[in-house]
Amino acid sequence: MKIQIVTPSVPETLTGNVVTADRYATILRKLGHRVSVDTTYDSKPCDAVVMLHARRNAAAIQESATRYPRRPVIVVLTGTDLYRDIKTDPEAQRSLELATHLVVLQEMGMRELPERLRAKTRVIYQSAPSLRAAVEQPRTSFRVAVIGHLRPEKDPFRTALAARQLPASSRVQVVHVGNALSPDVEAWALQESASNPRYRWLGGRPHWQTRQILAASHLLSISSLMEGSSNVLCESLAQPAPTPVVASRISGLVGTLGEDYPGYFPAEDTAALTELLGRAETDRAFYEELREHCLRSAPLVQPRREHDAWQQLLAEIA
């Protein structure tokens, strides 16, 4: 089949949606399909379209469904779709109805959809390839990685604020990789780096380098307020030795890590995150418990699983 993938873009920024679209293109090409990835929809002839983001692609979804009513429209729901837009936005709600198939990125996402839409919804976990080269962790500090662009949905400075409350004896050092998407946020990141001895903002880095920073960290901190899923979580779990995670207890992360994961904190709860950072650094048994749980979740993000899920979905529409 000839398939067009459409993902909204943020200028000069490698967003999670772009990473996801590129990965989908690779998978679909391996399955023998001809694939294009575009940031705008141009009504080009094709056999199926895959749209990332129900609200931001709403006009494209409507145009495709109207002009080619027999053509499959697969809508992949992002975090802002699932946990905000489809609750209140008429265009996002219309996209759900027009789609021939919906995709959510973890099991908990299905619960956010009206019952009538679940029959056409598939759960396809995101995957990540394993790093091949070993990366050495620092020995004089306990490195905590924060990876993600500085967007409000990521609550980007929560880990920096939590690290400020650690005792003087702590060796925690937070490294933050991600672009500031506004001058005000950039100023905040620079000020936090200058005034907080436990925090260093690195700005945006190439994807390969970001993965090395993650692998060289003792802990990954995800403080998001909403996620459809999390590319960085998948990349952490995909490592031969997963980097243990502390994470906000939100549906998009629980859907991958599981209800019983011991490393959750309530979203926006700085004190609870401070406690988790301290425990992960000083309590070896707790740290190993986090690692063991991550190893159990790792099969969910294997590339073969995602490959097979897309193969099954496309077989349904062929």
Q: What is the pLDDT along the chain (318 residues), one digit of tens a residue?
A: 999 999 986 544 456 778 899 999 999 999 999 999 999 998 889 999 999 999 999 999 999 999 999 999 999 999 999 999 999 999 999 999 999 999 999 999 999 999 999 999 999 999 998 877 677 888 899 999 999 999 999 999 999 999 999 999 999 999 999 999 899 999 999 999 999 999 999 999 999 999 999 999 999 999 999 998 899 999 999 998 999 999 999 999 999 999 999 999 999 999 999 999 999 999 999 999 999 999 999 999 999 999 999 999 999 998
Helices 303-317 & 16-30, crossing angle to 10 degrees? Answer: 70
Domain at 2-126+302-316: CATH code: 3.40.50.2000
Q: What are the extents of the domains in the chain?
A: 2-126+302-316, 142-300
Tally of CB atoms within 10 A around 305: 14
DSSP state letter for 59 = H
Q: Tokens standing for 59?
A: 């006009």
Identify which of 187, 160, 167 has the alpha carbon closest to the alpha carbon of residue 282: 167
- Report residue 187 CA to chain centroid gap: 25
**Do 49 and 73 touch, CB atoms closer than 8 A?**
yes
Alpha-carbon distance values, 116 to 80, 112, 192, 246 (Å): 21, 12, 47, 35
Give pLDDT, residue 14. Answer: 53
Strand partners, 48: 3
- Report residue 182 CA to chain centroid gap: 21
d(CA 101, CA 124): 12
Tokens 């995709």 correspond to 103
2-126+302-316 and 142-300 in the same fold: yes
d(CA 269, CA 276): 11
Helices (H), 270-302: 270-282, 284-297
- Report residue 96 CA to chain centroid gap: 21
**Do 242 and 291 touch, CB atoms closer than 8 A?**
yes
SS3 231: helix
Give pLDDT, residue 15. Answer: 64
Domain at 142-300: CATH code: 3.40.50.2000
d(CA 317, CA 303): 22
Give pLDDT, residue 10. Answer: 57
pTM of the model: 0.91
